Amino acid sequence: MARELPDYPWDLMEPYRKRAAEHAGGVVDLSIGSPVDATPGVVRDALAISTDAHAYPATVGTPELRTAIVRWFERRRGVAGLTDAHVLPTIGSKELVALLPFLLGLGEGDVVVHPRAAYPSYEMGAVLAGATSMACDDPAAWPTATRLVWLNSPGNPDGRVLTIEELRAARARARELGAVIVSDECYAELGWEGRWADERVPSLLDPAVTGGDRRDTLVIYSLSKQSNMAGYRAAFVAGCRSVIARLTNVRKHAGLMLPLPLQHAMVAALDDDVHVAEQKQRYRARRDVLKPALEAAGFRIDRSEAGLYLWASEGRDAWDSIGRLAELGILGGPGHFYGVHYPSHVRLSLTASDERIAAAAERLRASTAA
């Protein structure tokens, strides 16, 4: 009998949404990281001229798209030596995260490891495949039954960045266990503090991590955030040639194909670095407004050195903080949604307009002055 799935956690936010909607100044929704800024013109133009898509697209993507992904990895992530056989486009990254245990043939008795503070789809992928999930950041504690390891750097929700040394240690342990290791790096362009304000966020496929050996090692990436393409469902996976071949074969049988016009749009996005830098600056400006306002209102910001969110705590149960924010017309995400280890944290997204971020900051400061 199929395992019963839990309720969708965001449904629990409905009472808080209603409360926030009563605020005279309107809602400031910082709960879900859905981009609000326009998709870049270079991407929309590429889509507009590619609407003649009468034939089925190839599961592996066009040669132009695969070449663009390879070029991008070398230019932006410091990963050279990839070929067309090492990359594969996917229909968004969440689809791949949720389906990867199934695509790899995992099932009962297999363990899927993911971070302690984690996007819930890592656990849900294990549930859908009938495997067991384990939240653990210590490679030494990963059990012998581990068959898939998820890393997430920069992390969602906590903005944690894994160093080359940490990536190397995680990968070495996964190799000992015979597990596939995958790093979700979709926020890698958004470094803010410490060394990551200037240095490139490391990739699991960096030669300093792999030594040039990519066996059982994958990285997934999404254009949703850096290129405001969440509605396009544009993502890709790269790494171990044999694992990519398996994923490709299963996806061919399942008919999982990225629409051809979207593939052309992805090429335009991957080849243009200007719009990425512009979008990063927008998020930096919003972060510079929201972070000090939260701190002035009594929140402590933990980690958050990179990524799209601020990981904040008042030192009390997250639902109490969510209620306080809702009274101010602000919506966040409770730490309970990201595992059992952070019950006093809330996640606040930078994906709101400049005006809405400014409104949130004003309300937070006013709440402490009252």
Q: Look up residue 9 and give its two tokens.
A: 């956690």
Q: CATH 3.40.640.10 region(s) of the chain?
A: 41-271
Percent of the chain with pLDDT over 70: 98
**Cβ-count burial 310-329 (b if 16+ within 10 Å, e if not):** bbbbbeeebbebbebbbebb
CA distance 286 to 288: 5
pLDDT of amino acid 7: 66
Q: Look up residue 52 and give its two tokens.
A: 């003649």
Domain 9-38+275-369, second-level architecture: Alpha-Beta Complex (3.90)
- The pLDDT tens digits of the residues spanning 252-310 come to 999 999 999 999 999 999 999 999 999 999 999 999 999 999 999 999 999 999 999 99
Closest CA to 231 of 57, 36, 62, 41: 36
CA distance 282 to 289: 11
CA distance 52 to 135: 45
Mean pLDDT value of segment 68-79: 97
CA distance 152 to 170: 12
CA distance 300 to 292: 10
pLDDT at 349 over 70: yes
CATH number among 3.20.20.70, 3.40.640.10, 3.40.630.30, 3.40.50.300, domain 41-271: 3.40.640.10
CA distance 309 to 23: 23
Q: CATH 3.90.1150.10 region(s) of the chain?
A: 9-38+275-369
- In the DSSP assignment, the letter for residue 191 is B
